[in-house]
Structure 1
Amino acid sequence: MRASPLARRPRVAALVASVSIAGLLATGAAVAANAVVPARTSAGTAAADLSAAALTWSDEFNGAAGAAPDATKWNHETGAGGWGNGELQNYTTSRNNSALDGNGNLVITARREADGGYTSARMTTKGKYQPQYGRIESRIKIARGQGIWPAFWMLGGQFPGTPWPNSGEIDIMENVGKEPHRVHGTLHGPGYSGAGGIGAAYTHPQGWSFADDFHTFAIDWSPDRISWSVDGTVYQTRTPADVPGTWVYNQQFFMILNLAVGGAWPGYPDGTTQFPQQMVVDYVRVYDGTGGSGGTRTGTVTASNGLCLDVAGASTANETPIQLAHCNGNAAQSWTFAGDGSVRALGKCLDVAGAGTAAGTRVQLYDCNGTGAQRWTHDGSTGALRNPNSGRCLQPAGRVQSDGTRTEIANCDGSSVQRWRIP
């Protein structure tokens, strides 16, 4: 389905090509020509910082051997077609390509099939969990070999409604098999995508292959700042001053795990490449970086004409309509934007009725259940509150901004009636 968000890795390799291997081994970090000189921390310091943060979401991949990944947390993207990079694999939903191993791990397996083609898996949290800020980390034993390309990364929650690269991309970890001792972290956004992605590389301190053992790959993400680390060592920090275009990372992103075969950047399998290859994931965890607040923001949600988003009658009953009302400061107008993408008031969630996707579907209060009907993203540039499950935006019914007007989802059009100021 998507091509352009991947059609850019050759530049990442080029960015680090000028860094000598000897220098990499001496410092334990490879830094691209345009990278921030990394601040380094010990693994112990990183662990101490993490202990102060609240775990807001995780998948520990516990389950029976051969079981499917948790469908309440992960989607499978499927298909072949090269994915914009000349890749060879066909992504499937088969347990041959993605399954739990019974030992607390997810195993993504790239296979060469009897017909000479390749299969693998690509999993995302789109519409199910889309964090904004915090520590995003995964403990992974990557695959190995020429033409093998494991990755743990993120795309802006409004993709594909907002096309790449305007949606933004955060590559937490990428490895190309021809460089077994090196991993990459990169940003792609408007004005610095494709050949101009902004990133750096990190080399194993002993020069060993990252496929030999598990390693923890993470970002620490806060407004206007992202830092990358491997096993607790921070090797790169980026801020808006580092990008030659717009900083698009103050919004929700969804996570992606995939194992690709071939492509312009990694090259293609050759006689040295052995199949099957496995990317083994011990866990994926998201921590609140604020010391336990859950990454939440609480306050009023205000329409462009100054009215407030309100729970009708301050009722806590399921299916209570959400409306516009004069702002009064009561609990029915106090909304919490939680780290799981939900928007909450009176202990319940802002919900698209019946998980509907059609324009005109009403918006209501309902018991929080973690479904896509209760996930919302806010576009800082247009002010839109978008439900990724439906691809539509919150607005007053009939586009009438008056006291008592109920709300609905509608085609996102960037108009003032779809503009909301959030806490």
Structure 2
Amino acid sequence: MRGSVPRALAAMVIVSGVAAATWSAGRGDTAEAAVTETRVVLSDDFSGDRGGEPDGDVWTATGSGGTARLDGEGRLALGSALRTETIFEQESGHVEARIKGDRADGAWRALGVLDASGRVPAGQPEILASDQVDSGDFHTYAIDWTPTTLTWSLDGRQVLRFTPEQKGMPKIFVLNGAAGGQNSSGMLVDQVEITVQVPVDTSSAKQWKAFIAYKAGDLVKYRTVVYRVREAHTSLPDWKPDLVPALFEKV
């Protein structure tokens, strides 16, 4: 995960991503699209001076008596709990954090979820696999959510599925440095990134044609797929979007 987002983007809300599309074709040249795009909405690599605090526009401390300080090497030393300032209302998404801590198990404790009121949500958990880890190394904790489930994974391996009573509930995410109990010395957090699925407006997409001057960023339809123009060019008959990936990317 480290290196995928430059340190200059620490604690920013940014918009980028890769899109996926599902189409239902109509008559003639028309088609109705259900298109979603993956966007990074929070990325924090905890850069900053040693002893500094995490970005208050991104994180809110919970409880008392704990600590949350930057170590000056791009990590957060956390002995308390931090929750996201943002409440995430998107129907689906992915949150991922690289964490090293004293706990040998408890993925749902290290990276947790609260409802919009800040409470642990009611629901049904299902254990999928052991979540024991070597506490001396960094591990990737992640949660994938849909309107009906939250699924925890640890180093890419699914370990817990949770079905909340409230479908599509708004979510707050928590880094819990106090999850190891009274004898815990906390944890180090290397980076946190949250991506969500959002709808893409494709109403401006025009049917691809030859001998048309396209600008970078234009949306064009070819058959039942929408493409985004990568580079400005004038189309030629053989430059169909599915044949020239250097000029077109699928949305």
For 1:75, the equivalent position in structure 2 comes to 60
Using a 3 Å threshold, how does the CA distance of structure 1 residues 150 and 100 change in structure 2: closer, same or farther? farther
Aligned residue type for 2:45: E
The equivalent residue for 1:107 is 77
**Partner residue, 1:85:** none
Q: Give the aligned partner of residue 43 of structure 2.
A: 58
Runs of 4+ in 1 over 6 A off after TM superposition: none
Contact in 1 for aligned 2:100/2:188 (Cα 8 Å): yes
Aligned counterpart for 1:200 among listed residues 127, 137, 159? 127
| TM-score normalized with structure 1 length | 0.34
Asked if the contact 1:73/1:129 (under 8 Å) is kept, the reply is: no
Does the CA contact (< 8 Å) of 2:111 and 2:142 recur in 1? no
Aligned with 1:65: secondary structure?
coil
Q: How far did 1:224 drift? A: 2.0
Q: 1:66 to 1:202 in 2, by over 3 A?
A: farther
Structure 1 residues 252 and 212, CA gap change in structure 2 (3 angstroms): same
Q: Give the Cα–Cα distance (whole angstroms) in 2 for the partners of residues 137 and 236 of structure 1.
A: 15
Deviation at 1:144, TM superposition (A): 4.5
User: CA offset at residue 236 of structure 1?
Assistant: 4.2
Greater relative contact order (Cα < 8 A, sep 6+): 2
Quote the offset at 1:129 in angstroms.
Answer: 4.5
Q: CA deviation at 1:212?
A: 1.7
Q: Give, in whole Å, the separation in 1 of the partners of 2:58 and 2:172.
A: 11
Equivalent residues of 1:143, 1:150 under 8 A apart: no
Percent identity of paired positions between Structure 1 and Structure 2? 28
State the match for 2:165 in structure 1: 247
**2:96 partner letter:** E
Alpha-carbon distance in 1 for matches of 2:101, 2:128: 16
Aligned position for 1:285? 193
Deviation of 1:251 after TM superposition, in Å, equals: 2.5
How much has 1:226 moved relative to structure 2? 2.8
Shift of the 131–285 alpha-carbon distance from structure 1 to 2, 3 Å rule, reads: farther
Amino acid paired to 1:260:
A
3-state SS of paired residue (1:203): coil
Equivalent residue pairs, number: 164
For residues 17-416 of structure 1, the aligned pairs below 5 Å read 53-79=38-64, 91-92=65-66, 97-109=67-79, 121-126=80-85, 128-132=86-90, 133-144=92-103, 151-157=110-116, 159=117, 164=119, 168=121, 189=122, 192=123, 197-200=124-127, 202-203=129-130, 209-237=133-161, 247-260=165-178, 269=183, 277-288=185-196, 290=197, 295=198
- Cα offsets for 1:99-134 (capped at 9, x unmatched): 01111111113xxxxxxxxxxx221124x3435320
* 1:209-248 deviations in Å (ceiling 9; x for gaps): 431211111111122233221111224445xxxx5xx731
What's the counterpart of residue 227 of structure 2?
A: none
Instruction: Determine helix, strand or coil for the equivalent of 1:103.
Output: coil
Query: What is the CA–CA distance in structure 2 between the aligned matches of 1:257 and 1:153, rounded to whole Å?
Result: 6
Greater fraction helix: 1
Change (3 A) 1:129 1:101: farther
Tell me the CA shift for residue 154 of structure 1.
Answer: 1.3
Q: Which amino acid aligns with 1:284?
A: V
Whole-Å separation in 1 of the counterparts to 2:127 and 2:63? 30
Partner of 1:177: none
Secondary structure of residue in 2 paired with 1:130: coil
